[in-house]
Amino acid sequence: MIIIDSGIAEANKNYVATIEAWIEKSKINFTELLIVQGGEAAKTSDTVVETVLEHINTCGMCRKSVVLAIGGGAVLDAVGFATSIAHRGLQLIRMPSTTLSACDSGVGVKNGINKFGKKNFIGVFDPPLAVINDYDLLLTLDDQHWFSGMSEVIKVALVKSPALYETIKENIHAIQNRDLEVMVMLMTDSATLHLQHITEGGDPFERHEARPLDFGHWAAHKLEQLTNHTLTHGEAVSIGLAIDLQCSVHLGLLPKEVADEAIALLQQCNLPTTHPMVHDKELLAGIEEFREHLGGRLTILLLENIGKPVEVHELTESIVQQAVQSLG
């Protein structure tokens, strides 16, 4: 079964016909080609999950059947959830179609949808069979979604790789000009760092405390909810990174000039680093929601320097307020 994000089908009118022609010529036993709602809407209700489950059932697919999901992170998360619960798990091939999903979520092990207004409340850890990148898919992305992926590249560079951080700085003009070759290089580095963490970090299913890949995400997930997803995940992550960089400064962990430079770098990548909702009292609830999602003792990752993360177990209202005020 092939499942395609509606955003791709709308942006590239020949795409579905090309896939259909390929199916026609292929010797593989195809059951169905589905187009499903793209964007966060794929995760905010169970419609996509139900649709995929229904088709898996009516087509008589089995555990050895393979589903190819082509789409952004939201569609990959929702389809991945459906394929991992049908018959306790079908095979999934992910083909990420956004910069964010190619550099981060596509190579991850997490699948799920939102519930009770909380991001990824329902979900499972289930690695895909394979991940395939077709970079031509990215060409139809609008600027907002093109640049959204840069926040996850900068996130992983800040936490794990001073070398990647330098590469981003050196290539800033090419990044601003949507240079595909440079974007592919950065996405490859980012995906490799994400993959290394998952495969070699000793905690692929997040049973322990440290969560480096979630730097900036306690605020990001809450901001996505508070803005009713008018911020993309990538934009919310950019603001979340700025907040946690400032929290690191106000806790006396990180030199101010390092934080200022990183925040300027996010801005140079056309990403927002503040929003009126950062001043909403509800933002703080994101800390407890983050703790609940991860389980156990609150552990938030902050920075002492580029590539030098540090874990803290408390983030007070006063520090968060100072941080968001510094962002303007």
Ligand X SMILES: NC(=O)c1ccc[n+]([C@@H]2O[C@H](COP(=O)([O-])OP(=O)(O)OC[C@H]3O[C@@H](n4cnc5c(N)ncnc54)[C@H](O)[C@@H]3O)[C@@H](O)[C@H]2O)c1
**How many CB atoms lie under 10 A from the CB of residue 121?**
15
Backbone dihedral angles phi then psi of residue 317, each to the nearest 5 degrees: -60, -40
Residues 144-183 that bind ligand X (CB under 6 A): 145, 148
Quick one: 260 exposed, middle or buried, by C-beta within 10 A (0-12, 13-18, 19+)? middle
**Contact between 8 and ligand X per CB under 6 A:** yes
| Stretch near ligand X under the rule CB under 6 A, chosen from 28-36, 133-141, 241-249, 269-277 | 133-141
Cα separations (Å) of 112 from 117, 121, 246, 317? 13, 7, 30, 30
216 binds ligand X, rule: CB under 6 A: no
Q: What is the dihedral of CA 188, 190, 196, 201, to 10 degrees?
A: -170
- Alpha carbon 2 to its chain centroid, in Å, reads 22
Kind plus residue range of the DSSP H or E element containing 303: strand 300-305
Q: Where are the alpha helices (DSSP H) in 201-284?
A: 217-226, 233-250, 256-268
Decide whether 6 or 267 has the Cβ nearer to ligand X: 6
Closest distance of CB 327 from ligand X, Å: 22
What angle in degrees, to the nearest 10, is found between the helix axes of 233-250 and 217-226?
130
- Is 104 a binding residue for ligand X by CB under 6 A? The answer is yes
Please answer whether residues 237 and 213 qualify as being in contact, where contact means their C-beta atoms are separated by less than 8 angstroms: no
What minimum distance in Å lies between the beta carbon of 9 and ligand X? 9
User: Binding pattern to ligand X, positions 226-255, x when CB under 6 A?
Assistant: ------xxx---------------------
Binders of ligand X among 76-95, rule CB under 6 A? Answer: 77
Least distance CB 319 / ligand X (angstroms): 25
Pick from 44, 83, 97, 246 the residue near ligand X by CB under 6 A.
97
Q: Does 127 bind ligand X (CB under 6 A)?
A: no
Nearer to ligand X, 5 or 189 (CB): 5
Q: Determine if 110 is a binding residue for ligand X (CB under 6 A).
A: yes
Whether 280 and 208 have beta carbons less than 8 Å apart is answered as no
Candidate segments 24-32, 68-76, 264-272, 299-307, binder of ligand X by CB under 6 A: 68-76
- Which of 31, 91, 140, 167 is the binder for ligand X (CB under 6 A)? 140
CA 223 from centre of chain: 14
Other Cβ atoms less than 10 A from the Cβ of 198: the count is 19
CB 32 within 8 A of CB 60: no
Among 100, 156, 269, 277, interactor with ligand X by CB under 6 A: 100
**Contacting range for ligand X; rule: CB under 6 A; set: 134-142, 185-193, 269-277, 285-293:** 134-142
Nearer to ligand X, 164 or 187 (CB): 187
Shortest Å distance, C-beta 311 to ligand X: 20
Query: Footprint of ligand X on residues 28-57 (CB under 6 A)?
Result: 38-40, 43
